[in-house]
Amino acid sequence: MSENALVPELAVSDWTASRAFYTDLIGFDILYERPEEGFSYLTLGAAQLMIDQIGLGRTFDIADAPLQKPFGRGLNLQIRVPDVGTILARLEDANVPLYLPLEEKWYRRDDHEVGNRQFVVADPDGYLLRLFEDLGARGI
């Protein structure tokens, strides 16, 4: 698998918990990892994401801006998945609350609309994930 041109790397407070969340509940696969650094490179279909334990290996700190939960304020990561229902069931079984419940949302794109069946969930550090199925396009 080739790397995407843009691959987010999320600083996480507990690599083991984040790794379990992304693999067991969301459905990502591990492409490779460096456990001694608390690092995993994850894939889900064409989506790619890295998680990295704060304080192990390299941590990208910003002076005078300490990391505070929830991390990633102002950002949500949209991830296309083949079936949101399967992920929703796993999250429900694990008692993980949703940030935004399942919805069908249509967005204007030039002279037509594109649809998403989507929901938003926060990962263990508060990063928001917008998981969606593609509903195709329709005329306006």
Percent of the chain with pLDDT over 70: 98
For the question of whether the overall pTM of this predicted structure is more than 0.95, the answer is: no
- Pairwise pLDDT comparison (74 vs 86), residue with the higher score: 86
Nearest Cα neighbor of 40 from 26, 29, 55, 25 is 29
Note the pLDDT of residue 49: 97
Q: Please tell me the distance from the alpha carbon of residue 71 to that of residue 60, in angstroms, as a whole number.
A: 13
- The tally of CA atoms less than 13 A away on the side-chain side of residue 25 is 21
The CATH superfamily assigned to 9-58+73-139 is 2,3-Dihydroxybiphenyl 1,2-Dioxygenase, domain 1 (3.10.180.10)
Residue 68 has pLDDT above 90, yes or no: no
Domain boundaries, the chain: 9-58+73-139
Note the pLDDT of residue 64: 76
**DSSP structure string for 76-139:** EEEEE-S-HHHHHHHHHHTTPPPSEEEEEEEEEETTEEEEEEEEEEE-TT--EEEEEEEEEEEE
Confidence of residue 72 (pLDDT cuts 50, 70, 90): confident
Confidence of residue 81 (pLDDT cuts 50, 70, 90): very high
pLDDT in tens, 31-45: 999 999 999 999 999
For the record, the structure tokens of 59 come out as: 């941590």
Cα torsion 88, 89, 94, 98 to 10°: value is 30
Residue 1 has pLDDT above 80, yes or no: no
